[in-house]
Each structure stands twice: as C-alpha cells, then as structure tokens.
Amino acid sequence: MKSKPRKKKIFLILSVFIFLILFSMFFIDFEHSYPDISLIMGLNEISQGYEYKFPDTSVNYKTSSEFIIKNDGNAELIIKSISMRGHTDHFSIKFNKKDSRINPGKYIMFSVIFAPKTMRTKKITVSILSNDKDEKEYMFNISLGRYPLSQHLKMCLPQVKMRK
C-alpha cells in the first residue's frame, strides 16, 4: 500500500522538476549582462522617434547641437554607426569612431551640425546602430522650418537706400 502513494509523490516531484527545467530554458534569460542605450540632449532624454527642433540658423551659417549616448546597461555598448537620411546636404555628424565602445555607466558625445544653404524646411532622421538587443537601431528626427526674422526680411523686402 505504501508504494502507490510513494510512486505518486516521486512522479509529482519529477514532474515539477522537469517543469522547472523547461520553464527556465524558455522563459528565463540566463544572459544577465547586456548593454542599454539612452540618448540625451541637454538635460532631456530623447526617446525613439523624438523630433528635435534645431535652433534658428541663417543661410550660410552653422549651428551645432551636442548629443550624449549613455550606456545604462551592465555590459559594453558598441556603437556600430551614426548615420542620417533626408536633407543630408544641410547637416553633418561629428563622431569620433575611437569612442564607439562605451563601458557600463559611461557615455560619449557626438554633434550634429546644421549649415543651411537655402531657406526651405529641412528634416533628417538620425540612426544609431548598436549592439543593444532591444534597440539595435535608435532613431530620432531633427527638423528646422523657421529662420531668424532678419533672414526673412533680408530675402523678402526690397533693399531701400535712405537719402541724406
């Protein structure tokens, strides 16, 4: 009589043990170290798809904005590339490839330089490729649709010479 309850108990223990093994194989991430990218501009974190408005910039002048890439993870973050799409002839990116490896808790900086050649609306999408498995491609937008009032007046109003 004792063998039946004992067999059931052993079967139950083995079943639970097998379930835990299978559960851990499929649902528990054994890779506990991972990189985690975050992007900061000034004091603000920039989320995926964010649209940053560039400061007013006159034609044939340059304006630069600095961005910080931070590694919030606990493994090395590797920046594979920083590229842009859109009105790329009006923008450039300054990034030192030597800084492409970021240790946990550390950061690097890169700049986007805007040098408009015409007074039309400009927009680019900046893409940062990395080894972050959740956000392999981190993208945000930069746009400019306004120019300083003095630039508009100079382009739109006729030049008037004053008499003495």
Domains of the chain (ranges; CATH) run 37-147 (2.60.40.10)
Q: How far apart are CA 18 and CA 105, in angstroms?
A: 39
Per-residue pLDDT, averaged over 68-85, amounts to 96
Are 94 and 125 spatial neighbours (Cβ–Cβ below 8 Å)? no
Q: What pLDDT, in 10s, does the model give residues 96-152?
A: 988 899 999 999 999 999 888 877 778 899 999 999 999 999 999 988 765 544 444
Q: How much is the pTM?
A: 0.68
Q: What is the pLDDT of residue 33?
A: 87
What tokens were used for 125? 């999408």
